[in-house]
Amino acid sequence: MADTPGLVPAPGVRPRRRGIGYELLECALHSHRLVGTDAARVGPGDALLVRETPDGHRWHRCLRCDAWLALPPPDRPGREVPEQRAEIGLPLRGRPLRDRYVLRLIAIDRLVHFLVLGVLAVAVFLFAHERERLRGPFYRVVDDLQNGVGGPSGVHGHGLLGDLEKAFAAHDRTLWVIGVVIAAYAVLEGVEAVGLWRAARWAEYLTFVATSVLLIPEVYELTGHVSALKVCTLLINLAVVGYLLFAKRLFGLRGGGRAEEAVRERDNGWQALERVYPGG
C-alpha cells in the first residue's frame, strides 16, 4: 500500500503486512470507512483513527482495511471533535468479512436453484392442469416430425420424447405430487438463500443438512452415468458441506459457536484496531 498515493501509513505508524484481502475488496466496492473528516479539531485521544501532522494535514485511518489517507481539514466543520467510540459502527473485517463473502456466494447458488425449481414446479402444475388439452397437439407434432424424416408413426422416442410420453401417461395425482415436491424443495432453497445472505447461524445448519442429504443421490447417479455437470455439482456441494462443517464450526466442531464468536470479537472489535497499531 505504501506505493499507492493516499494509501500510506501515517508518520510514526507501523503498517501491518497483508496481501490483497476481502477488506481491500470491500473498500474498493464501497469506499473507505473514515471518521473525523468533518471535525474542527483533532486531539491526542483520537490518534488511533485520526492524526494531524505539523503541516496541517490529517491522516484518517480506514476502519476496515487499515489504510491511512491524507486529507486536508474541512473548510466547514460539521462537528467539534471526531466521533467517539460509542457513535461509531465498526465494519466487518477479518474472518467475519471473509465468511460473509463466502456465505453470500453460496446464497446466490441457492437463489439460482430456487428460481429454476420454481419455474419447473409451475411448469409441472400447468402441465397437470392442461395435459388433456395438450395431448392431441403433442402426438400430432411428434407424428409429423417422425414421418418427415421417414420414421414410424407414434411416440417411440427415447430421452426427452420418452420422458414426455411417460408424463402424458402418468396419473394426475402423480403429477401433482411431483409438482408439490419440487415446489417444496424450491422454497427450501429460497429460505437457505435468505438466511445465508443474512449470515444467520440457523441457515448454516439448514444448508449443511439439506446439502448433505443431496450428496447421496448425486453419488448414486454417478455410478450409472458420469457427466461434467454431475461431477461439478457434486464437487460444489462437497465444498459447501466442508466449509460449513469446518470453517463455520458446526455441531461443536473446533470449539463450535463459542469459538466462532471469539473469532468474530477478535477480528472486529476495538481491540483488533488497537492490536494492529498498538500506540503508533
Residue with cell 460509542: 86
- The model's pLDDT over 94-145, given as tens digits with 9 standing for 90+, comes to 899 999 999 999 999 999 999 999 998 998 888 887 777 766 565 565 555 5
Q: What type of residue is 202?
A: W
Residue 151: pLDDT above 50? no
- The model's pLDDT over 25-34, given as tens digits with 9 standing for 90+, comes to 999 999 999 9
- The model's pLDDT over 66-87, given as tens digits with 9 standing for 90+, comes to 999 999 889 899 999 999 999 9
Can you give the pTM of this predicted structure? 0.76
DSSP category for residue 66:
-
Q: Which three cell numbers stand for residue 202?
A: 440457523
Q: Is the dihedral of CA 143, 149, 155, 157 positive or negative?
A: negative
- The model's pLDDT over 192-238, given as tens digits with 9 standing for 90+, comes to 999 999 999 999 999 999 999 999 998 988 888 888 888 999 999 99
| Contact in structure between 113 and 211 (CB atoms under 8 Å) | no
Give the C-alpha separation, 203 to 205, whole Å. Answer: 5
Burial of 69 from C-beta contacts in 10 A (0-12 / 13-18 / 19+)? middle
Q: Are strands 58-61 and 68-71 parallel, antiparallel or unpaired?
A: antiparallel
